[in-house]
């Protein structure tokens, strides 16, 4: 079954510290991979995406993610966290498999990031 796992429900980091949010997926083929961020009461904003090519992807707000096929992972990183990064982060996969285009994104349960001053 297709699924996305974000092992960390809640993470707290100090402002200025580095950040890594984990994402593991289960999918029949190499999926399209996305990271979105959601601030309280808001919709989802796309941070970055992986379709093909270079496995290290750069996104907005200084975020990057690395696709590791062997580990079925797509972890999100930021070298120095700012207080404004406090939000909920979602990893998602979309299909490119032989079953056709379902249009569906499968989301992980999300990781809530708290930033300490």
Q: Which residues bind another protein (CB under 8 A)?
A: 32, 34, 36, 42-46, 49, 51, 90, 92, 94-96, 101-110
Residue identified by tokens 């190499």 is: 30
Q: How far is the CB of 94 from another protein (least distance, A)?
A: 5
- How far is the C-alpha of 117 from the C-alpha of 107, rounded, in Å? 30
- How far is the C-alpha of 36 from the C-alpha of 30, rounded, in Å? 19
Q: What tokens appear for 18 in the block?
A: 């580095």
Q: How far is the CB of 96 from another protein (least distance, A)?
A: 6
Q: How far is the CB of 116 from another protein (least distance, A)?
A: 26
């Amino acid at each position: 079954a297709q699924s996305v796992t974000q092992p960390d429900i809640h993470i707290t980091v100090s402002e200025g510290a580095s950040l890594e949010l984990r994402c593991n997926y289960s999918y029949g083929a190499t999926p399209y991979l996305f990271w979105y961020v959601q601030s309280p009461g808001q919709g989802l904003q796309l941070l970055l995406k992986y379709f093909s090519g270079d496995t290290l992807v750069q996104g907005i707000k200084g975020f990057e993610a690395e696709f590791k096929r062997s580990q079925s992972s797509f972890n999100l990183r930021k070298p120095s966290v700012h207080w404004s990064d406090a939000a909920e982060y979602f990893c998602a996969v979309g299909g490119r498999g032989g079953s056709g285009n379902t249009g569906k994104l499968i989301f992980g349960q999300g990781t809530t990031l708290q930033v300490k001053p």
